[in-house]
Amino acid sequence: MYTKPQILDLQATTKLFLQSPQKIVAIDMLRKILKFHEYQYYVSASPLISDYEYDTLFKILIELEAKHPNLITKDSPSQRVGNSLNNNFETLAHLVPMLSLENSYNADDLNDFDRKAREGALLDAITYCVEPKFDGASISLVYENDFLVRACTRGDGVAGEEITQNIKQIRSIPLSIPLSEYGIQQMEIRGEVIMSKKSFENFNEKLKSKQLTILANPRNAAAGSLRMKDPAEVGERNLDAFIYHISFYNLQQGATIPELLKTHSGALELLWNLGFRSPQNEKKIFSNMQDVIKFCNDFESKRDNLPYEIDGLVIKINDFALQEKLGMTSHHPRWAIAYKFKARQATTILENVEFQVGRTGAVTPVAKLQAVAIGGVTVSSISMHNEEYIKEKDLRLGDTVIIERAGDVIPQIVQSIPALRKGTEKIIEFPNNCPVCDYLLEKEEAEAVWRCNNPLCTAQIVERIIHFVSKDAMDIKSFGDANIRKFYELGLLKNIPEVYQLNFDQIATLEGFGKKSVDNLKAAIEASKSQPLYRLIYALGIRFVGETTAKTIAAQINHILDLTLLSEAELQNFEDVGIKVAKSIYDYFHDENNIALIKNLEALGLNMIQTNTTAVDGNLAGLYFLFTGTLTQLKRSEAEAIVEAGGGHILSGVSSKLNYLVVGEDAGSKLEKAKKIASIKIITEADFIELVKN
């Protein structure tokens, strides 16, 4: 529909509106811009701006049309419910239009919504029901005489695409429900199809294994699934659905309205009773807007702990009679509003790439972006992982890119937008030589990472020192990255042993280092000499040896140099040490430079022997545990410490040696593997807490 020059021109104008909306009153152009982005999002499935940026433009239009009602046109985006349809599926009309929700981003918007609702209802206070705003794909379902008869996408709000066979692949949507028990003959309900974070991760792993392009995010994965031609492919994606609204129903002859259908919270309970996954357990009821606002502010910080993505909360007037009284506009109901969390996506420009060298010599490309605010922080740098990542996403210097703060709040590039290229973009060339020491880079056959194997590379030396003093390693407080880099540049610190040979008199002359900070640093360094052996093993930075493996190794030896006496085959006898890890440990402890380092550290007073004694008579003695999923009452590290204190052991993977798999929320492949081994007891976090108490 749109040519490339048109796309570039419209995108450039979009940027002007977003940067200086108060200076632009070209309302016809704004309507054109919004229609263009609706087409890109709903028809082409190739969004060029983030949801937040679209909402910002839409709000400007609403404000302009409110000031100049004579300029409103029949085809304005403000005058219709939704957007264009995909013609690949049969179009069916909804029994009741699926309206959009008015969006809010702050307390002022919510207070204004509350004021209008109270004025319209002639009430001093209103009871609200608040529930998550699921970030997926909207659907409409119709059940008649207890059976699912059709399912549609949202479409343009008036009609949607018929996707019944695809919806039947989603197991949380029942094919029949006991409507007749409630005297209901026909019901139209609304919900959201989602893909959980774990399902999304697992599905992308499958795509990677088949060398296929991975999906951008769970929302796109869910939306794309609904329009797939083969229902069997939909079933493979392990989709889920939350059903949160009853839009229409017909009673059987002589039946009366069920009591639950007098409030929205009651309707959610009814949906739950009928067998749907409604937000019955997630909903909250409040008697005033101030409590709603507090809940919204508090909940935003918890969104990353959920097993699925949400982009806000929905606030609805709870009483259906009051909803009916307030009614709706042509665009949205007056009895509901969406509180949107801070933007998790934004568009920006990929300006440059820096190649950084880590402690193991791995060279990581880092995107330098035109700074953009996202999720409450300003982002200007994002890791691009490796050369294959750049090629897979077809990233180029000068590209417009969509970035996203993922569930773990680490920003990532979702995709480039080729349609916005002007022809001046440049291919990103990965270097052949180390950007720091000019050593020729190498890549092992089974790896995606290019690596500098020069042990004297200054970048690696600094990163190794940073890792050595870090919290999970030797835990030297007051010795952060910035101080290490500063000391290295000043020549005060050239290698790991010199951490214990610092000239504190010289450090005391530096800006920001008073007597107290120098004394604190000196004490922390001295205290680190007594750290348990596993911390030292982890701190050495041996490839593939994480904290858990370091504990396993330390438990099997008396002195760290005992590892020089073991063959690769003997190392593989250690729990969870495979061929790759055993080779890495063997190579490390048969390198004379590494042995010299260890002997130097021993001479400086560091502990080299196994001092931890396992509680052999503890209540968990001899038992092996593994944790999977998200724990809600304990941190993972706390739970593992409890096991070790009771004489138990932690495994890093499922094997026949495992006694207990402790399953948290959104557990993944480890749970499925454990189910296949009869000797493993699968317990919940609550079961685990009860077990260790007894």
Query: Hey, which residues are catalytic here?
Result: 133
Q: What are phi and psi of 35, to 5 degrees?
A: -65, -40
* Residue 231 three-state SS: helix
What is the token pair recorded at 398? 């000068």
As a whole number of angstroms, the distance between CA 161 and CA 226 comes to 9
Residues in the chain: 694
Instruction: Give residue for tokens 């504990």.
Output: 551
Contact between 242 and 192 under an 8 Å Cβ cutoff? The reply is yes
Q: What is the DSSP letter of 580?
A: H
As a whole number of angstroms, the distance between CA 153 and CA 255 comes to 31
The packing angle between helices 685-693 and 636-645, to 10°, is 30
- For 582-589, which contacts have Cβ atoms below 8 Å and span 24 or more sequence positions? 584/542, 584/543, 584/544, 584/545, 585/542, 585/545, 585/553, 588/540, 588/542, 588/543, 589/561, 589/563, 589/564
The packing angle between helices 27-38 and 51-67, to 10°, is 150
DSSP 406-465: -TTS-EEEEEE-GGG--S--EE-PPPSB-TTT-PBPB--TT-S--B---TT-HHHHHHHH
Q: What are phi and psi of 385, to 5 degrees?
A: 65, -65
What is the token pair recorded at 570? 């003997």
Instruction: Give residue for tokens 């500063």.
Output: 486
Helix (H) or strand (E) holding 489: helix 481-489
Contact between 579 and 572 under an 8 Å Cβ cutoff? The reply is yes
Provide CB contacts within 8 A for 168, sequence distance 6+. Answer: 148, 151, 175, 231
* Residue 258 three-state SS: coil
What is the token pair recorded at 521? 């640093």
Contact between 34 and 13 under an 8 Å Cβ cutoff? The reply is no
Instruction: Give residue for tokens 């317990």.
Output: 683
Among 298, 182, 193, 352, smallest CA distance to 251 is for: 182
Alpha-carbon Rg for the chain, nearest whole angstrom, is: 30
Q: How many CB atoms lie within 10 A of CB 21?
A: 17
Q: What is the DSSP letter of 319?
A: B
* Residue 236 three-state SS: helix
